[in-house]
Amino acid sequence: MQQGPREILRSYWGHSAFRGSQEKIITAVLNGKDVLALLPTGGGKSVCYQVPAMVQDGICVVVSPLVALIQNQVDDLKKKGIKAIALTGGIPFEELNALLDNCIYGNYKFLYLSPERLQQSLVRERLEQMKVSLVAIDEAHCISQWGHDFRPAYLSCATIRELQPEAPILALTATATAQVSQDIMENLRFETPFVVKDSYQRPNISFYVRHTEDKLYHLKKILKSPNSCGIVYVRTRKKTTELSNYLSNLGISAKNYHGGLTKSEKKERLDQWLNNTFSVIVATNAFGMGVDKPDVRNVVHYQLPDSLENYFQEAGRAGRDGKSAKATLLIHPEDKEIAKKQFLESMPSIAFLKKLYRTLNTYLQIAYGEGSGESYGVHFNAFCSRYQFPPLKTYNALRLLDQNSVLSLSEAFGRKTTLHITASKDTLFSYLENHKEGSNNMLAILRTYGGIFDFETNINTYLISKKTGETEKKIDALLQRLAEADIATYHAGEEDLQLTFLVPREDDKTIHSIQKKIILLQEQKSRHLDQMIAYVDNNKVCRSNMILDYFGESTALDCGICDICDANVDDKDDATLEKLLLHELKAAPKNARELITLLEVKETTLFSLLRKLLEEETILINYKNEYERNA
């Protein structure tokens, strides 16, 4: 006799009852309905497709964006005695063929694959032959161009509808606005969608924004608790190395994580962190999607995120065990202006897109009306240098052309030019002492790329050439000599960009066809940044409520635990606070940190008062950067 959902849950997962809307979603799927499930981070999304798949005959096809996430879930299912297959990268044709045969004839319950796999004709052919009980689209916001993690390959998910028209589709995400939700359902061709949305509220997480000129001090203060598991999010690979080294030097066990690490390094660091070998992981946003570690007590954003969707998904990785946790965003006074400037400088205009597209076709010698279906290798740095195109803006423009199906941008971009210093620092500097012609270039590389002694690092020789004034050819020659001397391993890619043109060359006409869509998309990205800045500038509305409102959810109750709600942080009136501050300075000069601790006051409140007293010349700043009474 076949087991029901609750029996399956108890037998394989050891739980006696479902959480939130899990059971409602499972019932709808078992009744053959297409479902959009909007569940908060940590809301148990995988159970919503794993349980109904076990109840029914046939195989469940799961589309997921990350290899690490796919492998983790397949490993967990296998430990439970459930037959599951993962189609990850690098599988030879013969093995891929055999695995797909197993899905048809081998009584497997789960097939996990990336959206890119759906573009392979062999995979599509075999999918059509399978007895598919359910299709699950994990991280479904990636299918929407209005979502924060849009991946063009996710649009291939719609082809499953043609291959398996009878199988219900379950789309799951933890972050989707009303616009993104509508886009998901339209792309997946939901005819009579069943939408289930649990509250995004995370009552155990206290959301804090700290405006400070000393982020390192606050980072240390937040993470100093022994065995306090945490994630620190930054925007650059270099910063992951800087901060992980800073924390390690303070005695806080920390390692970094970013997209430039090898697959084995990523797996090793993730496993070590999950098993509490070290407590804090400092990462770019390449880390986190699908990572299930329940005891994260602190998530710190050291730099301003691009949008509230990104921020909430990353902050939501705290406190998945339901216990108290904290999400802190550290803001320097200059951060907002830097973010705006970076956004404007990296956002390609329509005029820039037209110029880039024309130039690219000329560079590759593609004739007007030709090029469709053809692939070309390009040295990205050489191309940008030759035509004086800013690299970041150029890459973002190519991504826009990729997202709008003008061309396909290979994922191999930027991964082929790597350097790893395998010798000691003393050996390297001894070599440079005897070969002074290369020392300036090497010092520029060491200043630009942290961790280059620890692991293979992607480097941009064009950037180094701009810093030193040397040619890329000379830099390449230096690095080749270091490799020959067994001081480093160096892999140089002549073609680090692979482009496949999807439409014939029609120059401006090609861009005109997508112009309106791109303008709308860029306007939305600008609004996302404005909303993020509004969040950090807010000093009146409960932070949790502000986030919920962004996602279309309203509540009359404040969270009571964010920095806005915490009435105990500063309940002194201005006159009392001024009197107490002057009393403390009468005893001895003090710096801002000491005053915050002694007065138990918000940093923003203290600095407002200090500015006032400085303007009135009631207090002064001495040579030690301490505040003292003006005699």
CATH of residue 172's domain is 3.40.50.300
* Sign of the four-CA dihedral 285, 289, 292, 294: positive
Q: Is the pLDDT of residue 337 over 50?
A: yes
Closest to 57 (Cα-Cα) out of 98, 7, 125, 3: 3
Question: Which whole-number Å values give the CA distances from 170 to 34, 73, 117, 137, 484, in the listed order?
Answer: 6, 17, 19, 6, 54
> Quick one: 368 and 450 in the same domain?
no
Q: Is the pLDDT of residue 37 over 50?
A: yes
- Residue 413 pLDDT grade (very low, low, confident, very high; cuts 50, 70, 90): very low
Check residue 227 and give its pLDDT: 63
Q: State mean pLDDT over 446-465.
A: 78
> Quick one: 384 and 353 in the same domain?
yes
> Quick one: 145 and 53 in the same domain?
yes
Which has the higher per-residue pLDDT, 465 or 407? 407
- Residue 27 pLDDT grade (very low, low, confident, very high; cuts 50, 70, 90): very high
> Quick one: 152 and 284 in the same domain?
no
- In the chain, the percentage of residues whose pLDDT exceeds 90 is 35
Asked if residue 174 is part of any domain, the answer here is yes
Q: Give the CATH number, domain containing residue 355.
A: 1.10.10
CA distance 136 to 534: 35
Check residue 298 and give its pLDDT: 95
> Quick one: 405 and 459 in the same domain?
no
Check residue 569 and give its pLDDT: 47
Q: State mean pLDDT over 471-483.
A: 85
> Quick one: 61 and 112 in the same domain?
yes
Check residue 89 and give its pLDDT: 67
Asked if residue 145 is part of any domain, the answer here is yes
> Quick one: 581 and 623 in the same domain?
yes
Total domains, the chain: 5
> Quick one: 146 and 18 in the same domain?
yes
Question: Which whole-number Å values give the CA distances from 304 to 183, 330, 486, in the listed order?
Answer: 27, 8, 41
Check residue 301 and give its pLDDT: 96
> Quick one: 369 and 501 in the same domain?
yes
- Residues paired with 206 in a beta bridge: 326
| Residue 543 Ramachandran class (φ > 0 left, ψ -120 to 50 alpha, else beta) | alpha
> Quick one: 433 and 483 in the same domain?
yes
Asked if residue 305 is part of any domain, the answer here is yes
Check residue 290 and give its pLDDT: 61
Give the structural domain span for 297.
Answer: 205-333
Q: In this predicted model, what pLDDT tens digit does every residue of 573-592 receive, in sequence order? A: 677 788 888 888 988 889 88
Q: Is the pLDDT of residue 600 over 80?
A: no
Asked if residue 248 is part of any domain, the answer here is yes
Angle at 621 between CA 618 and CA 627, to 5 degrees: 75
Using an 8 Å Cβ cutoff, are 519 and 350 in contact? Answer: yes
Q: Is the pLDDT of residue 190 over 80?
A: yes
> Quick one: 142 and 237 in the same domain?
no
Check residue 219 and give its pLDDT: 94
Q: Is the pLDDT of residue 90 over 60?
A: yes
Final residue of a structural domain among 163, 181, 197: 197
Which has the higher per-residue pLDDT, 226 or 367? 367
Least confident of 178-182, 300-304, 324-328, 377-381: 377-381
Asked if residue 430 is part of any domain, the answer here is yes
Which has the higher per-residue pLDDT, 469 or 368? 368
Q: State mean pLDDT over 50-55.
A: 94
Using an 8 Å Cβ cutoff, are 115 and 141 in contact? Answer: no
pTM as predicted: 0.70
- Residues paired with 207 in a beta bridge: 327
